[in-house]
Structures are given as C-alpha cells and as structure tokens.
Amino acid sequence: MKPVLQVRDLCRNRILHNISFDLMPGELLAVMGPSGSGKSTLLYNTAGLDQADAGEVRLQDTVLTALSDDHKARLRLEKMGFVFQQMNTIPGLSLEENIVLPGIQAQGKRQKAKVKEKARRLMKELGLEGLENRQVQQVSGGQLQRACICRSLINDPVILFADEPTGALNRQAAQEVMDTLVNLNRQGMSILMVTHDSKTASRCDRILYLQDGEIKDQLYLERADADREQRVNDWLMQRGW
C-alpha cells in the first residue's frame, strides 16, 4: 500500500529538524509533544501552509514542496481538509453558508446547488440537521467544530489536517468531535492530528512524539486494545511528559 503522505527530511529554520514520516491510507496519526516543540509548524509545513527550508512532502503522486504557492493553494482546496482549534468561521453567515463557501470556491458558482446538497448531507451525517440556517454564534462550540469538519469535507479531500481540534471544547463536546473524527477515519479518511490530550491521542492508530523539533519516538496502538489510554499515559510519562 502506498502512503497518502510522505514527508522526508523536512526542515524549518531552527524549529523543525529532519522530520520524516509516512501517513498510510486510512491511518489516524497523532502528533504530541510539549508546547513550543513545533507541532503546529510541522502540520503547517506538511500541508504547504508554510515554506519549509529543506525536505520534501509528497501527497499521493504530487510533490507538494516543488509547487508554486498558487498550485499549493489549489491543491489544499481540492485535496486537503483543515480543522483548527480556532474555528475561523465567518460570523454573519449561517452554518450552511460557511460550509458551502470552499465548495463554491473550488467548483464554481454554477455548482452551487450540488455543493449545497452535499453540505446538507454532511450536516445530517454529523448530527447537525436542523441547524443549517443558524448563525455561527447561535450554536455550541461542539456543533460549530462539527460544522468546521463538514466544511473541511466539502470538496472530498484525501486527507484531513487537524490542529488541536478539541482544544477549545469542554469534555463532552470534545468527545463528540473526536467521535466524529474517528467515525470519518473508520470510513477511510486519512487524518493527521495535533493534540496534547492523551485521551484524544489514545483513539489514534499511532502517535509521533515531537520534542525540540525532532520526532523522538512513536507509539503504535491496536484498535482492539482496551488499555490504550493507560499505554499512552505510561509512554508519555517515559518521555518526560
């Protein structure tokens, strides 16, 4: 099986040093590490949102690091989904309008009806039916983050990038958002997720441990393992977490 994402010797001035890893199709991969260790920088550089100094990122058959900024932006719009802690929704627009926006951007105004239908289907799947016309400030944090996940899926990406997707949420909402991401992953979505929450990380297939901009270790988790949260906590403790 070929990786969805191949990262080789990625460097970013004094923040990231020779980062190399693969993300396999359908894998749910977490990045953990102390604050300031470079997790967000790793995510941004991997997705081409930041200009790495050296190294290569390959998304399927495309060498992302060799593309112009315009090409990268197009590829992000069409092939990548993003979910951030700060949800970056547009106030004054409804949930549905926020979700539809990148769809129209990628596919053109003439596809509006089709994009809208897709937005409604996604909202239904993610438990947001009936909230289509709510303004972003009229829903809970968990609902808003699930709307952001809908938005990230509107163009059928091949990979999702998530930076602390549950970071701004209370425990209950965090669990709902994580349930949603795990569900998507079980349907085949490849996900790279930064988190500092061991409970969240314990639901992933593998965890990379980043420290001082280097991948120091990784932990594989079995989906059937009942003790995975304990394993993650023990492993983190050994890393000096």
Ligand X SMILES: Nc1ncnc2c1ncn2[C@@H]1O[C@H](COP(=O)(O)OP(=O)(O)OP(=O)(O)O)[C@@H](O)[C@H]1O
Q: Which residues of this protein are in contact with Mg ion, per CB under 5 A? A: 39-40
Question: What residues from 157 to 196 belong to the interface with ligand X (CB under 6 A)?
Answer: 196
The single-letter DSSP state of residue 109 is G
Strand-pairing partners, residue 220, are 206
Query: Of ligand X, Mg ion, none, which one does residue 15 interact with (CB within 5 to 8 Å by kind)?
Result: ligand X
Report if residue 46 touches ligand X, rule: CB under 6 A: no
We find the least distance from the C-beta atom of residue 145 to ligand X, in angstroms, to be 17
Query: Of ligand X, Mg ion, none, which one does residue 108 interact with (CB within 5 to 8 Å by kind)?
Result: none
Question: What residues from 2 to 31 belong to the interface with ligand X (CB under 6 A)?
Answer: 15
Report if residue 41 touches ligand X, rule: CB under 6 A: yes
Total residues at the site for ligand X (CB under 6 A)?
A: 10
Query: Of Mg ion, ligand X, none, which one does residue 68 interact with (CB within 5 to 8 Å by kind)?
Result: none
User: Alpha-carbon distance 63 to 158, whole Å?
Assistant: 15
| DSSP letters for 12-52 | ETTTEEEEEEEE-TT-EEEEE--TTSSHHHHHHHHTTSS--
Of 217, 234, 149, 213, the C-alpha closest to 187 is: 149
We find the least distance from the C-beta atom of residue 193 to Mg ion, in angstroms, to be 12
Of 168, 180, 197, the C-alpha closest to 86 is: 168
